[in-house]
Amino acid sequence: MRIGIDKDVCIGAGQCALTAPSVFTQDDDGFSALLPGREDGGGDPLVREAARACPVQAITLHD
């Protein structure tokens, strides 16, 4: 699975980082970012829940 984050849509709510902290973090500006090497989700089962938790649907998942 590939994970995409639309930086133009992200509002920095942080729900992704709270839901799947082994995959998502927040950058220096407070916006969503992937941890290095986690572009494929690393098999974390919470990635889909993190995408659903995003209040503005800035996260897309591609199988």
Q: CA 56 → CA 15, 31, 42, distances in Å?
A: 11, 12, 23
**In whole angstroms, what is the distance from residue 8 CA to residue 16 CA?**
16
The pLDDT, as a whole number, for residue 14 is: 97
| Residues of the chain with confidence (pLDDT) below 50 | none
63 part of a folded domain = no
Tell me the pTM: 0.90
The pLDDT, as a whole number, for residue 12 is: 96
pLDDT averaged over every residue in the chain: 94
**In whole angstroms, what is the distance from residue 23 CA to residue 40 CA?**
9
The pLDDT, as a whole number, for residue 39 is: 86
List the CATH number of the domain containing 50: 3.30.70.20
Q: Domain count for the chain, please give it.
A: 1
The residue type found at 52 is R
The pLDDT, as a whole number, for residue 63 is: 84
φ, ψ dihedrals at 58, nearest 5°: -80, -10
